[in-house]
């Protein structure tokens, strides 16, 4: 297995500290770009190697969870986005949160970032639900 538990914990701590540094302290632009590229590279490497060294049952569970996340998570995200667009109260809340962001970004950019974060959260929750349902069905 390429990623043992201490490596995963260390990567999580590095991402949390790096995010806190970039957001709270205000890192230079080059540092933020390198941090984002490092996070994307780590995620891609982890995704590619997730099927290596795994037994067949674990790999099948991960494939099922990925299919569940794309088959259920994407339509749910689209439905939530349509509801957000059509519901005036949610629009006002997002606009007020985006205008209070102290990142120096335009409120539209902050709102876009919140939308991307919401989408990633929804897909992650759908992936977790897929993994749990796979293992519940197989046990």
Residues 29-75: tens digit of each pLDDT: 788 788 888 878 877 777 776 766 667 787 788 888 888 888 888 88
> Is pLDDT at 1 greater than 50 in this prediction?
no
pLDDT digits (tens, 9 = 90+) for 14-34: 777 877 777 667 778 788 788
So what's the pLDDT on residue 32? 78
Q: Are residues 74 and 40 in the same domain?
A: no
Rounded-to-10 torsion of CA 88, 117, 125, 40: 160
Distance of CA 36 to the CA centre of its chain: 13
Q: Are residues 23 and 65 in the same domain?
A: no
Query: Where do the H-state alpha helices sit in the chain?
Result: 5-20, 29-49, 56-68, 74-86, 88-99, 107-138
Domain around 4: 1-53
Q: Are residues 25 and 59 in the same domain?
A: no
Domain count, the chain: 2
Mean per-residue pLDDT of the chain: 78
So what's the pLDDT on residue 68? 84
Q: Are residues 99 and 73 in the same domain?
A: yes
């Amino acid at each position: 297995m390429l990623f043992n538990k201490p490596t995963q914990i260390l990567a999580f701590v590095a991402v949390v500290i790096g995010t806190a540094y970039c957001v709270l302290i205000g890192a230079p632009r080059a540092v933020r770009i390198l941090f984002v590229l490092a996070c994307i590279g780590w995620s891609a490497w982890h995704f590619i190697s997730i099927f290596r060294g795994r037994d067949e049952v674990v790999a099948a569970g991960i494939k099922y969870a990925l299919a569940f996340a794309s088959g259920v998570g994407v339509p749910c995200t689209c439905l939530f986005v349509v509801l957000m667009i059509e519901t005036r109260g949610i629009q006002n809340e997002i606009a007020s949160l985006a205008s209070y962001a102290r990142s120096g970004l335009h409120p539209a950019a902050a709102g876009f970032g919140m939308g991307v974060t919401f989408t990633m959260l929804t897909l992650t929750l759908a992936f977790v639900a897929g993994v749990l349902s796979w293992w519940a069905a197989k046990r």
